[in-house]
Amino acid sequence: MSETRKDLIPEYGPLHGVRILGLGSIVAMPHAGNLLADLGAEFIQIERPGMGDSLRMLAPFSKKTKVSNGWMQDARNRLSITLESNLNNEEAKAVFLDLIKEVDIFMDNMVWLKKLGIDDEEMLAANPKLVICHVSGFGQEAFGGAEGVSGRASFDMIGQAYGGFLNLNGEPDQAPMIVKPYLNDYVSALNATYGVLAAYIHAQKTGKGQVVDVAQYEAMARILSDTFVTYTENGEDKERTGNKTTAFQPYGLFFDKNGEYVVVGAFGRNVYNRFLEAVGFDKEYFAYEVAGNGVEAVMSERGQELDQKIKEWCSQRTAKEIEETLNAHRVPASKVNKASDALNSEHFKARNNFVTYTDQTSGEEVTAFGVVPHMSETPGKVWRGAPAMGQDNELVYGELLGYSEDKIAELKEKGLI
């Protein structure tokens, strides 16, 4: 890596100066790169010539521009270069290793990377401080795994199912419900994000890179709360309970007078009593221990009576009235918002949650969800919309790698970029 690094993007955010190279498509790995790019990192995504990231072809598409809506939302702040990803081609591999020498982090979700002609040892030999992150359904064999499992193909719902999450989601008397959109992919991206940042900090301290292994099923299994300990301690498999919990109440989803959905939660004695005050129920008759706390109380005759009264109370009011009444008593409650609700919400607006930028494929403006989390001193931003395929070839190959115009033209003529 050159001692004097040339910035490829505007300076902003706490991760300014961190450079990431990504090989892969769709959601999990690229989204991890984008989360870091939103906070200032340079994220260079390799797309295969003539094909590109599959997310570009994923419906729904803009009625106006015919560009994938998911691409416009999730691919902003990326630099796009094209490169033949079959690195058994020696020229393509040489270009790839030149890129590896200039980045801090390499991320992929190719699963069978070795079959493409590259391995971790070669990359670390080219750049000893490199952080390598593999995102896959079942993890890399180097970190363990049953024979024949690590190499399996996977999608979002596979990780939900294998990790145990899917078994818990849905109504008890119905089939499990796959969570959308792509919850497992996005959770895996979060795992990858903090994994590479931790490894990057270590590399800056020690000069030594390492490999980060993110398995989709593990990302899902890690957020299952007491599920596994309930089995190891009590011998019980947790099952679906739908929108209602049996551990305490109220904590669930209710209908308002217009058939809209509202969620209400009152965990803990103080919040429970504030809820009873807000709705005007008898606090002695529906005492916390009698009707609100614990499976026995919630499922008792008194507990069931309370549940029915809550349903009736909500059904006689609008979602707005329910929200205002309960929040005035510091009881958590919210209408279930649609996209249209969020875009018209004064709170979303006041938080600057939506930003408008120019999609690079169509040249048209798009309004999308903005950058989170907010930061007081080094805020992130969207510096550019989602790129056209190969839009940054000249920038990356010419300015970063120092390739001549003739060499870039030759690589293009050979179909390598």
| Residues 53, 189 within the same domain | yes
Please name the residues in contact with 279: beta carbons below 8 A apart, sequence gap of 6 or more. Answer: 309, 310, 313, 325
| Residue 334 domain flag | yes
Of the three residues 273, 307, 338, the one that is the final residue of a domain is 338
Whether 4 is in a domain gets the answer: no
In a domain, 245, yes or no: no
Of 282, 312, 338, which closes a domain? 338
In this prediction, residues 11-23 reach a mean pLDDT of 98
pLDDT for the residue 111: 76
Q: Is residue 280 a contact partner of residue 223, using CB atoms and an 8 Å limit? A: no
| Same domain, yes or no: 410 and 266 | no
- Its domain, for residue 318, covers 251-338
What pLDDT score does 110 carry? 85
241 within some domain:
no
105 and 46, same structural domain? Answer: yes
Among 44-53, 93-102, 111-120, 365-374, which stretch is predicted with the lowest mean pLDDT? 111-120
Q: Answer whether residue 136 is part of any domain.
A: yes
Q: Return the half-sphere exposure (C-beta side, CA atoms, 13 A cut-off) of residue 80.
A: 22
pLDDT of residue 5: 78
Q: How many domains does the chain have?
A: 2
Nearest to 114 by CA among 134, 98, 94, 95: 134
Q: Rounded distance, CA 161 to CA 156, Å?
A: 9
| pLDDT at residue 246 in the model | 87
Distance between the two ends of the chain, CA-based, in angstroms?
22
Judge if 128 and 207 occupy the same domain.
Answer: yes
Mean local confidence (pLDDT), 348-372: 97
In a domain, 3, yes or no: no
Asked whether residue 83 falls in the same domain as residue 189, the answer is yes
Residue 88 in domain: yes
pLDDT, tens digit, 9 for 90 and up, residues 238-297? 999 999 888 999 999 999 999 999 999 999 999 999 999 999 999 999 999 999 999 999
The CATH number covering residue 191 comes to 3.40.50.10540
Query: Do 279 and 136 sit in the same domain of this protein?
Result: no
Residues 25 and 67 in one domain: yes
Q: List pLDDT tens digits, range 283-307.
A: 999 999 999 999 999 999 999 999 9
Residue 387 maps to a domain: yes
Phi, psi of 258 (to 5 degrees): -100, 5
Share of the chain above pLDDT 70, in %: 99
Per-residue pLDDT at 6 exceeds 90: no
- Residue-wise pLDDT tens digits, 378-394: 999 999 999 999 999 99
Q: Return all residues near 227 (Cβ < 8 A) that are at least 6 apart.
A: 164, 168, 238
CB-based contacts of 193, cutoff 8 Å, min separation 6: 32, 35, 36
**Based on the domain organization, do 184 and 312 belong to the same domain?**
no
How far is residue 284's CA from residue 113's CA, in Å, rounded to a whole number? 65
Which CATH number belongs to the domain containing residue 312 in this structure?
Answer: 3.30.1540.10
Residues 44 and 145 in one domain: yes
Query: Can you give the three-state secondary structure of the chain, one letter per residue?
Result: CCCCCCCCCCCCCCCCCCEEEEECCCCHHHHHHHHHHHCCCEEEEEECCCCCCHHHHCCCECCCCCCEHHHHHHCCCEEEEECCCCCCCHHHHHHHHHHHCCCCEEEECCCCHHHHCCCHHHHHHHCCCCEEEEEECCCCHHHCCCCCCCCCCCCHHHHHHHCCHHHHCCCCCCCCCCCCCCHHHHHHHHHHHHHHHHHHHHHHHHCCCEEEEEEHHHHHHCCCCCHHHHHHHHCCCCCCCCCCCCCECCEEEEECCCCCEEEEECCCHHHHHHHHHHHCCCCCCCCHHHHHECHHHHHCHHHHHHHHHHHHHHHCCCHHHHHHHHHHCCCCEEECCCHHHHHCCHHHHHCCCEEEEECCCCCCEEEEECCCCCCCCCCCCCCCCCCCCCCCHHHHHHHHCCCCHHHHHHHHHCCCC
- Taking residues 76-91, what's their average pLDDT? 97
Residues 154 and 192 in one domain: yes
pLDDT band for position 2 (cuts 50, 70, 90): low
| Per-residue pLDDT at 189 exceeds 60 | yes
Whether residues 363 and 261 share a domain: the answer is no
Indicate the residue among 338, 372, 398 that finishes a domain: 338
φ, ψ of residue 181 to 5 degrees: the values are -95, 120
Q: What was the pLDDT predicted at 94?
A: 98
pLDDT digits (tens, 9 = 90+) for 221-237: 999 999 999 999 999 99
The pLDDT of residue 112 is: 78
37 and 186 share a domain? yes
The pTM score is 0.93
